[in-house]
A and B are shown apart, each in its own frame.
Chain A
């Protein structure tokens, strides 16, 4: 069973709905970054837009853009990851509830506060009655949605799936997470993100969407060999799980041309990647993406997205390289995307060029 990424789109602090970040990345200039919103009129009527929160608008726009790029009108499944759901609406309702002592509350923010609002609004927009699910599991929310999609393909229930990772960051939530050490305290520059001994990362909302299919077509970006989730605190076990994951696909660590890691500038987070690179991939080039897309519960989606775009263009831009390895492969074949949350929830996603299994 092969699964391909046929199309992808993103809204982030990079130029929206494009791959311009490959050649002209926008570097973050603050700890709290807002995504650059596209012109929503091409996807959503002004009347619809008024009823939608900004996360919903981003999710609908990224989804529709992906479907257009992938020439698909109605996917067989819609599967979403969101760590926090529709925070803006949740806060609106929560504040009203507290301030008005639970009296005379507006129903709309509540209706659009549940985490599955995103998946269901996209389904409503597309009139898609197929499989529809939502994962809300912190830093592996997107990864869970991806795993679910891969299983639906494996079980031969679907031939296309629209998956996405969507999170928004509000000033209030940013402030709360700042208190428990999520963010850099001082204004950050890019160099300091690689500096050891620092904690906290840069915040940005996420909207990343992928169209997956089980058939190859020339516009496909890459092939998803497999993905899996693990839960373990033990660093040795983490290392051996990577090894056995690759082994299952008749590969070893030296077959991996680049490892896409979730380095965020937070030492607590980054030390895990340093350890795994050292134990499993001492000579392999390590890539990163959170310096361009920020940290959020769904940031891992950009890891898969960036790796897919690199595979499609057979090019890794200099600015994605975290550290160069001794191994300098002549072409980019296998990219392993490693993600973890709080050193215990792990995901591994192995991507390869379409052509490695499909004669062109």
Chain B
């Protein structure tokens, strides 16, 4: 094992609810979070989505934020997830340490900007939200959840792999000795902007999504946030916190094929998975479970599946996509699915790939269709792929 980076805290909010217990519980009961739209104000109310089951006011209440304080939904979700991760990792007790906060987002403040855009241009009613529009503003607003403690922050925006790349960048900072602790992940809320965008690309399923199914017809958008706390094993030992698992390998590669589509043979995905294995010093046969990117679009699932076959040959490990639970939370996907991978790894279960009925002809594997418990998992590979061919893979492993 090359890596000495451990995870000491995780926090999550998604369509499955708030917190790791709610998330694990819903996964173990195979309960999807995809359903009818409640909070997003759009004309396309018929499109199924995976909304976080809390209004902005609910989230403000959970955080103790005043009703008149200007903050975007992306930042609210981020703060809720950050709080859980920080508490689990006992970070409030940490003194005089360098703490880097790396957050991924693409929507940023768009969900408010699209509501107030005409105000931005024509009057002064909503000026406070102008400064909250960009991705960096979203990160800065989340960092304020933990005032005076973060010593470096930045924002990654590589579309649907943003959060995975935030985790990767944070891990590199630790390896380079540039920080003592990292809080990394991502946040995204639903917006009309990207719902309409994905809709014009005709990749939204009008039914709950069917990852890896022959008749899959697109994705369901989701929202949420998740963060992991990372440090070196030595650092965790010194401050007396028990690691949850380790981040044993990771890689970022580019498909360089098309602005939105994946290459037919999954070149970027293949390279990302292979390089992640190499960085972990693992063989393909060491992987016990793959939490796939598996969006449910015809293009992604076949391309990702082909890439898995290139890496794993005729021995593709247990595979499931959890997009049918959380929808596709775009920039937050890499972090939410990292948390799901960590829960699966540490609690020895494999979530079911919901809504699967028929195998994709060109692939040599089918996903796990019923939740498996009491499976001994050692290494879990988590894939996150984005527009522009920004493909990243992370491997989480039990502490050895």
Contacts and interface: CB of A to CB of B under 8 A. Distances in A.
B201 A110 contact: yes
Contacts of B271: 129
A124 B256 contact: yes
A345 B151 CA distance: 9
Contacts of A129: 253-256, 267-268, 271
Nearest to A78: B254
Nearest to B258: A124
Contacts of B124: 179
Interface string B166-206: 00010011011010000000000000111011011100000
Contacts of A151: 169, 172-173, 175-176, 178
Given A94-B117, A97-B193, A120-B254, A107 B200 contact: yes
Interface in A144-189: 144, 147-148, 151-152, 154-155, 172, 175-177, 179-180
Given A102-B44, A114-B387, A132 B253 contact: yes
14 contacts: A105-B197, A111-B197, A111-B260, A114-B388, A115-B157, A116-B387, A117-B259, A124-B257, A128-B254, A135-B155, A140-B154, A176-B120, A228-B178, A229-B152
Contacts of B326: none
A312 interface: no
Interface of B: 42-44, 101, 106, 108, 113-114, 117-118, 120-121, 124, 127, 130-131, 134-137, 139-140, 143, 150-159, 165, 169, 172-173, 175-176, 178, 192-194, 196-197, 199-201, 252-260, 267-268, 271, 386-390
A141 B267 contact: no
A106 B157 contact: no
Contact of B158 (A84, A134, A172): A134
A232 B268 CA distance: 38
| 7 tightest A-B CB contacts, nearest first | A120-B388, A138-B136, A110-B197, A115-B157, A132-B254, A137-B136, A136-B135
B135 A115 contact: yes
Given A112-B259, A133-B165, A180-B127, A138 B196 contact: no
Contacts of A131: 252-254
Contact of B201 (A107, A138, A144): A107
B289 to A, nearest CB: 26
A93 B388 contact: no
B157 A135 contact: yes
Residue among A133, A175, A230 with the highest chain B CB neighbour number at 10 A: A133
Contact of B200 (A98, A105, A180, A229): A105
Given A120-B390, A133-B390, A128 B256 contact: yes
A179 B106 contact: no
A262 interface: no
Contacts of B157: 82, 85, 114-116, 134-136
A172 B117 CA distance: 10
Interface in A82-115: 82-85, 90, 93-94, 97-98, 101-103, 105-107, 110-115
A124 B259 CA distance: 8
B296 to A, nearest CB: 19
Given A102-B43, A135-B155, 4 more contacts: A78-B254, A120-B389, A123-B388, A151-B169
B72 to A, nearest CB: 15
A90 to B, nearest CB: 8
A18 B390 CA distance: 31
